[in-house]
Structure 1
């Protein structure tokens, strides 16, 4: 009884205070966009099974209000899962899934780059993650979960994710904080599934159990009166579809959506109901007129919102049809944020004495580079990458094991060292990839691991960030010599880490050898030589190499140069891929086949290195 009185008192107070004008305007704008969205899809894709949300546009206003108001109550994590009804409008308008990507999917293309193998998922299962900032500047992370076509399966998954975040943040049963503080889990249901799926009751039944409870959820049930074709009196035993929630004394608020029409035509099975529905005015139009009459938002302003949104959708669809949309992982960051992360990476606690040499060569040197926009070395690039990914890495289940493994030696088995010289480590990793030299194109991101040999600090930064920015996890093997850690030619400006910068898969030859070749060309004042650095080895960048080679139509000789012996290094990996994927027969330049990896005699090493350059530039 006390809880009922508390709820009634707060609800009545909310009604007495009324809704803020800015919240009304925000609700109207998303509702106008929702109507424009459904109209756009109906015109452009008339046969698309899109599970329209027409008639339930008022729910868009609710979600808009939840996002805007939740951070004011300390919510930092907003977790959403929902069924198909009205999901496309929700994802694009509320949860910021790119409309162009959705149109790409509607056109029959995958939601990932064309060169990646995978079965993909249906339209209504797409997800998004982003940081929402309120009008007052409060920030909240929003994540949506994929839902399979089996209704309500994602309900316990989202609840479990909220519980897991509570455990990570040491809230409720896992610490001193209250259960549910800072985390809001929201579920979007259809009326038939909410009543009919047993997993709903099972999840509700566990809602108060220690170590399972999350402090409550928000359940939004879109009731279009018809669960497919079943009428309510044969679909459930209760009066309302939400009566199941009364089993745990949960408050239920019934809202009149005003209109329950949708693109699907149930008038064949429910002719009387839908005759009445068609005579009603759309809830968006009714609300639009009400806002205009109250002087809060004119009809001209409403028309502009709809027109601008429709124009943007037209542009997105045009980009898809012209082939301009190609997913690319955004690994760059704002330069001011990078400076902040870099400064924090060398921040010294109070009353902590630092060795003068460390302060001068490491701390002061890093700060000076960041302040003066100087070249960024590899250690700083690594700190910037890890600093920007700290939350993601620390919350990974295997993060501790990964860190422990990094302390181990990369020689997996050394039982044969007394019998024969070990092959190069990079060769071992390349042999473990499933990159195929015979197929065309050679391969895409569908390989089992990534192998890269970056030659600049910016490339290294983007490689590390790409590992966490991509929505999938695959091993990344970075092979690079220590000489590049402080080499001036391997440093990058801070702008190369910025928002519009990316990891470039190719740059011909590989690793620090490219820097040696470029330096030699400058010293000899040679013309007509082009050094292309190949930094991504697996997946093999066939199309990017083809684009680069096409820029030099007069090129007649193609040479692969490497420091390693012919029976080691990258030669045996790249040669067949150039031949099969690009139709290019490479000429080898490097050390010949030898039964050891490298000589231990400095004089011999120098002669071998000089001979590589001499043979190359005399060809």
Structure 2
């Protein structure tokens, strides 16, 4: 009733009825192209692990089960009673099947050495992926940008949205700046042109949860849809984007399976808010993080989890980056928390280029919310055409008087932009400060971070700043790394929210005060 589909209840003791039900379902699907449910009614004969004694807790039920003939016996007696086979024939069939199974089992010891296959993990790479060229020529980017806003003349784009899209059209001619969503669209377009199919699903992914993406346009008069990525010149790669229901486990599980069976496709799953990934935690734990170690199963699945403390409360703040970092080991996946459009562009292109290589791994990105429209995340066009992904990203506008620096402030994600805003407004001496962002949290970019420290000969303290509580966020994961690579005598300190049971405050006023304290403390010299 709830799903408006047929349900057929089938007796599992009746093989012919089971086959009829399956045939019925197939014919129904073929004719009506709708779902069909076969509800198989059976029982468990040997308890939950087939080795325990279920009669200790269910004596009467399992007394009945022991007296009940097996499916094999019931079906054999039916065929014999109807004169279709003899009792001897039934016994011969059973013996033949049993022998085939026993013969297969006996082969295992003889092939033991061959059967036990060593699962080879890629060698740890200090910064994650090998160096990959992800830059795109300026003229190619400009052409792609033109194609992204090239809808039919008869198509009526909604007025406000049309103005936003037309502003994007001028990005390569006027200010030459690219904001987050345009960088994503350009990354998708260039990946498709390179021959890699793309599949994106998630809650509101067609428009974007924060009305930022708008990959699917709707005619304001007819409701007709138009997807510019379906109309790129000289492009044979498929692109699909689907809005999905708030059933995170179901959708993520499907997308993981899709990626495994179509490894040449860039498959992305997006949560409406990163917090909602909680409902799919079993897939992260059992499959995505551990699949390679368990089964040698490679995956290049991308997970986009909107994350950042905006005063919206506990269920709309944290993508629980600490959980992904706790599961991080043996080069099993990449966890990133980005702060610029160019960084996002390059990491998507890097993932696409690595899909069929041995080093491929799933990619978890803590994507922004308010930063989607923050001018400090906008990138120059040349950062797309001449640069590549940087695991460690140094704050622009800093003094190069490295010998004066006594504190280096490290952070990741949205709080990095809050720090940048505050730093740029500061007056007086700022040469004692150096600021950098750890954009790729795992694999930890130890080499790049050590090189940063080496430039600061008089460094006295390394401060890790985060907006998440101390028992959440990246602190517990990153503090041992920072302590290990810190120059001798340099202290590693934490600035952020105290340890808490809830991810965020429920009061926007309290949130604002705490956020101001965190940023101010990180940029204030000790007496």
Query: TM-score by structure 2 length?
Result: 0.50
* Rg larger for: 1
Structure with the larger RCO, 1 or 2 (CA within 8 Å, 6+ apart): 2
Higher strand share: 2
Query: TM-score by structure 1 length?
Result: 0.43
